Amino acid sequence: MECKLFCTKKSMSVSEIVCLGKTMSNSFDRWTGGGSNGVELARQFCSCRGVSLKASYSTTRKSKSSMEWIGQNKFAVESNSTNWIIGTNGVISSSSLGECYLLDATEDNYEGIIVDPERLPSNPNTFASRLQSSLASWISKGKKGIWLKLPVERSELVPIAVKEGFQYHHAEREYIMMTYWIPQEPSMLPANATHQVGVGGFVINDNNEVLVVQEKHCTPACAGLWKLPTGFILESEEIFTGVVREVKEETGIDTEFVEVVAFRHALRVAFEKSDLLFICMLRPLSTQIKVDDLEIKDAKWMPLTEFLKQPHIRGDRMFKKIIDICIARLGKRYCGLSSHRVTSKFDGKSSTLYYNVVEPEDNCPGS
Amino acid sequence: MECKLFCTKKSMSVSEIVCLGKTMSNSFDRWTGGGSNGVELARQFCSCRGVSLKASYSTTRKSKSSMEWIGQNKFAVESNSTNWIIGTNGVISSSSLGECYLLDATEDNYEGIIVDPERLPSNPNTFASRLQSSLASWISKGKKGIWLKLPVERSELVPIAVKEGFQYHHAEREYIMMTYWIPQEPSMLPANATHQVGVGGFVINDNNEVLVVQEKHCTPACAGLWKLPTGFILESEEIFTGVVREVKEETGIDTEFVEVVAFRHALRVAFEKSDLLFICMLRPLSTQIKVDDLEIKDAKWMPLTEFLKQPHIRGDRMFKKIIDICIARLGKRYCGLSSHRVTSKFDGKSSTLYYNVVEPEDNCPGS
């Protein structure tokens, strides 16, 4: 009887699985395993729930050093008298109990393990003992990175995993991702996200009026300032759609993306993370302003000359430069980066490449 | 006797404090409160550790509705018979016990509270009761966002905070940040970081040879490919230094940053987060290759013509486009974005603005 018959086929969504180490990976070929989804799942590990396995003992990949390295943790495999049997199908079992004591998990393509967050034992003590057994098994098999995603409803398991040596990797509202790097070499697990991405929209109409807003929640330094609409893009949103959305939300104006004309990189903006702000030239498609009451105090079309006269703009080198660039672009004396859909064979992924198109029809410098 | 005499002055580093809501904020004026650090800390809340306060009862900002909204949580202020006294100095105390039952915390500039992660009660039960009392106090004072940073050594407090209604915000190896948004209106707390930022270096020498690498941990799709050195920048690292560092680490070659020639935005690359890859033109400053054994299988100077003949490059639209752009830049038929230090008065922060400089001396199109 094959253990896999009793396993859940459910696994983490492929987009939540990370494949390559941080610095060793590159954005081109990181996700190459499984076509458009980018990740191929390999064989599954599972808890067999009372199924007695016909298993053979194997120590092929069990190295003493890897066990010693984890010396501070008391694995079940070491701390009790049960004879642990590692089955041919990758399932660890106990010969004395005839039961599987492993967490449900899937292998990834990088010799790593992804624990199934939807099949965690309901009892914390069971989780603790299965985590220990599973770690012992994964170490014996020469596995590398372990991914343990704990939903917020199972927060009582967090200290248990910490006790076993797991580290925090990242968290979102609904879960915390914890990791365990088994090899003695430095961890090759990819890092957490490091940046927030903002967008600012320069929208100018045929009357040479700029679309500007006054923010409701404004610090004294920007009190009374009429500024370009800005905001953050979502974690899986294009820059060219994010900026159109933000302008629409704040002012009610429909626009069309033209180009990224510049971007600003500011370090250590929040929680040591950094901030990229893309200044985008947009073409207005409507005229009627409708202010977002939650964020925006007021919005209007402001003559460009009046906009530039504001002390905040005139007196600030950065603001001034950005506006200069936008005006140069308007006067076709500047060429920004336009967006182009590209698909790479390496990951089958469609992504957006922003570059400067210097061709006659673009009315850019050099044309 | 003033309570503040007994408070710790220690607070979170300013860079770890977030000030404005996600969509309402913009990258220019988000950090304007406190000069170069960008954040002004206001008065502190504290636990008074056995000091009996001369306090007056105040209900000024305590609204019934805000208490009702948190109805599912049993706050100490509601669930026991103690008469809670809110002192004039912002400290909540119990008249019957003569003790403070609040967590050490600091106000931020946005009517929020930052709990001091270095002065959390050592006993989890004490933490639980103080968290309840503190929440009641903050609600009564009309506070908005609560920031609770729990170091990994205190992971046993995570389920306690979850039980009180705290949500995960983000996590790093050493801590998890949890938040609680008190008002009934939608949360204005800023989101977690959403992007990883990668860099790729196009380095070409006077012999028209490109600096290329073969990666050690390579997927089948890129097996045998000689590619540009790439890597992720750190969370608080400039693009122009990050790319120079990555090239140096992987190949031993010193380089000088010239321009960002293009960037790629790929969505949902890891954990639903997205990826920005900046392709940078670099000028080589040395010739002797020294391969990084951990990540790189091999590195070499490869004739440009040979590099382009590789099936991986020829057959891939994205690779091909990127290389075309780099070659156009070499031939001075393309102008990328160069980096410029700018400081904005709004936040006193020095940041980097990347834009296209079209001036005669730049040898760019249009010159």
- Hey, where are the domains in chain B? 8-181, 195-362
* Chain A positions in Cβ-Cβ contact with residue B220 (cut-off 8 Å): 32
Contact A230 B196 (CB under 8 A): no
Amino acid A100: pLDDT: 65
Amino acid B100: pLDDT: 65
* Chain A positions in Cβ-Cβ contact with residue B26 (cut-off 8 Å): 198, 200, 215, 227, 230-231, 277
Mean pLDDT confidence for B10-33: 30
* Chain B positions in Cβ-Cβ contact with residue A347 (cut-off 8 Å): 221
Q: What is the band of B148 on the pLDDT scale with cuts at 50, 70, 90?
A: very high
- Pick the more confident residue, B267 or A54: B267
* Residue A90: HSE in the Cβ half-sphere, 13 Å Cα cutoff: 18
Amino acid B75: pLDDT: 31
Contact A267 B325 (CB under 8 A): no
Contact A364 B364 (CB under 8 A): no
Domain A3-181 coded CATH 3.40.630.30: yes
- At A196 the three-state DSSP class reads strand
User: Which residue, among B263, B312, B320, would best test binding to A if mutated, counting the most A CBs under 10 Å from its CB?
Assistant: B263
Cα–Cα dist B345/B348, whole Å: 5
**In terms of C-beta density within 10 A (0-12 exposed, 13-18 middle, 19 or more buried), how is residue B190 classed?**
buried
Q: How many angstroms separate the Cα of B158 from the Cα of each of A131, B164, B165, B171?
A: 19, 10, 11, 12
- Pick the more confident residue, A36 or A145: A145
Average pLDDT, chain B: 74
Paired residues of A343 in beta bridges: A350
Distance of CA A227 to the CA centre of its chain: 30
Q: Measuring CA to CA, which residue among B130, B132, B168 is closest to residue B147?
A: B168
Domain B8-181, architecture per CATH = 3-Layer(aba) Sandwich (3.40)
* Chain B positions in Cβ-Cβ contact with residue A340 (cut-off 8 Å): 321
**Cβ count within 10 A of residue B142:** 14
Amino acid B358: pLDDT: 60
Amino acid B318: pLDDT: 87
What's the CATH number of domain A195-362, 3.90.79.10, 3.40.50.1970, 2.60.40.10, 3.40.190.170? 3.90.79.10
pLDDT digits (tens, 9 = 90+) for B4-19: 222 223 333 222 322 2
Mean pLDDT confidence for B110-116: 93
Does residue B337 contact residue B259 with C-beta atoms inside 8 Å? yes
Q: Which two tokens stand for residue B73?
A: 């949580």
Does residue B14 contact residue B39 with C-beta atoms inside 8 Å? yes
Mean pLDDT confidence for A117-140: 96
Mean pLDDT confidence for A7-29: 30
**Considering CB atoms only, which of B24, B186, B316 is closest to A345?**
B316
**Considering CB atoms only, which of B152, B176, B221 is closest to A29?**
B221
